[in-house]
């Protein structure tokens, strides 16, 4: 493992560079704002009249159409959603790319799966903060940062890594550490984590646990507390100190139940399914399926999303969360009333 910190950063690598942030969504906004506050010359590429352009201008950024921003920049950060990157690159970035430019991504999907193919005379790098954009910004404002992953796919200038490190430092990432990886490793592990554990795995585990208790005759409100609400308490312990801290803070009864029942729920068959998920990511099956789904207008995606929102755990949760003043009472009361 190679881990960079502030001592490894040469801020001169981007000292005279113009950085174009293409897209002012969750990550784009955090990147642009942090880099500007770090003293870099930042411009934002966003559609005139759009929400992103309006918000960027309110922060004090120079805002222009994506093609104009890309043509003026030395480093172009392509931070629009994955499925939009190919069109934005081809229409707004590729025509103005010059030899020696740096093209930066925060996720490797478009490069790994051939959606974007830059010319050989530009640097292609990745800086991927390991947090949502809102947290990237909040930690920066506190004088800290979140860890970042760094990858160099193409080093045409001989300075690609130095430029990427300077960019990461501008985000605040060098405070927490910048871990070297590859586009392939970042993309495949990120997709796997989302699908098998963080999003797909957790949401299915929660829903199946809730269904099991309700089908056995228990109150849905009690099942909600046990299978969803208290999950945050455990996740916080895991994030703060791993398995050891979780074990230190749960009861002896919970700990014994963990040891004897956890492997019954998530067993070798579950792991075989995880291996199958990973294989689909590695061989491009998932990427092809997701690309085709977008091209078809997202019919399955929308149906599955609607199915999730109609699950009984959502109705139960809306009513309970509306009474939890420490959350977002306005949001939750509005949801419960709708």
Radius of gyration, alpha carbons of the chain = 22
Residues with active-site annotation: 107
The answer to whether the annotation marks 244 as part of a ligand binding site is: no
Token pair belonging to 310: 């109609």
Q: Among residues 84, 172, 189, 78, which one has the least CA distance to residue 125?
A: 78
CA–CA separation, 212 vs 322, rounded Å?
24
Q: From start to end of the chain, where are the E strands? A: 3-4, 18-22, 41-45, 62-64, 75-78, 102-105, 123-129, 148-154, 178-180
The answer to whether the annotation marks 47 as part of a ligand binding site is: yes
The answer to whether the annotation marks 27 as part of a ligand binding site is: yes
Token pair belonging to 72: 């003026």
The answer to whether the annotation marks 24 as part of a ligand binding site is: yes
The answer to whether the annotation marks 26 as part of a ligand binding site is: yes
The answer to whether the annotation marks 25 as part of a ligand binding site is: yes
Q: How many CA atoms lie within 13 A of 193 on its CB side?
A: 7
As beta bridge partners, residue 4 has 178
The answer to whether the annotation marks 251 as part of a ligand binding site is: yes
* 64 within 8 A of 24, measured Cβ to Cβ: no
- 8-state DSSP, 80: S
- Residue 283: C-alpha distances to residues 1, 29, 110, 278 (Å): 25, 33, 15, 9
Task: Cite the annotated binding site for NADP(+) by residue number.
Answer: 24-27, 47, 133
Task: Cite the annotated binding site by residue number.
Answer: 24-27, 47, 133, 190, 194, 226, 230, 251
Task: Cite the annotated binding site for Mg(2+) by residue number.
Answer: 190, 194, 226, 230
Task: Cite the annotated binding site for substrate by residue number.
Answer: 251
């Amino acid at each position: 493992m190679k881990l960079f910190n502030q001592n490894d950063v040469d801020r001169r690598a981007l000292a005279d560079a113009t950085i174009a942030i293409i897209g002012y969504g969750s990550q784009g906004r955090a990147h642009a704002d942090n880099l500007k506050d770090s003293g870099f010359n930042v411009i934002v590429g966003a559609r005139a009249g759009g929400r992103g352009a309006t918000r960027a201008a309110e922060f004090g950024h120079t805002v222009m159409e994506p093609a104009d921003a890309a043509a003026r920049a030395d480093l172009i950060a392509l931070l629009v959603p994955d499925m939009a990157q190919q069109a934005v690159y081809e229409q707004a970035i590729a025509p103005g790319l010059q030899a020696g430019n740096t093209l930066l991504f925060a996720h490797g999907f478009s490069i790994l799966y051939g959606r974007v193919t830059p010319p050989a005379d530009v640097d292609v790098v990745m800086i991927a903060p390991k947090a949502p954009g809102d947290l990237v910004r909040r930690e920066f404002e506190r004088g800290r940062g979140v860890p970042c992953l760094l990858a160099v796919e193409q080093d045409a200038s001989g300075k690609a890594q130095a430029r990427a490190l300077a960019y990461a430092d501008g985000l605040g990432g060098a405070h927490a550490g910048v871990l070297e990886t590859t586009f392939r490793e970042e993309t495949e592990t990120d997709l796997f984590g989302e699908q098998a554990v963080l999003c797909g795995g957790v949401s299915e585990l929660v829903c199946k646990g809730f269904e099991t208790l309700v089908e056995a005759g228990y109150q849905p409100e009690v099942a909600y507390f046990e299978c969803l609400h208290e999950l945050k308490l455990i996740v916080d312990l895991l994030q703060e100190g791993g398995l050891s801290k979780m074990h230190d803070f749960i009861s002896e009864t919970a700990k014994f139940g963990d040891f004897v029942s956890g492997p019954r729920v998530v067993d070798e068959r579950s792991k075989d399914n995880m291996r199958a998920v990973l294989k689909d990511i590695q061989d491009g099956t998932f990427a092809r399926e997701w690309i085709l789904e977008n091209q078809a207008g997202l019919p399955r995606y929308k149906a599955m999303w609607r199915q999730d929102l109609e699950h009984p755990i959502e109705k139960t949760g809306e009513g309970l969360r509306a009474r939890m003043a420490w959350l977002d009472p306005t949001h939750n009361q509005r949801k419960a009333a709708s």
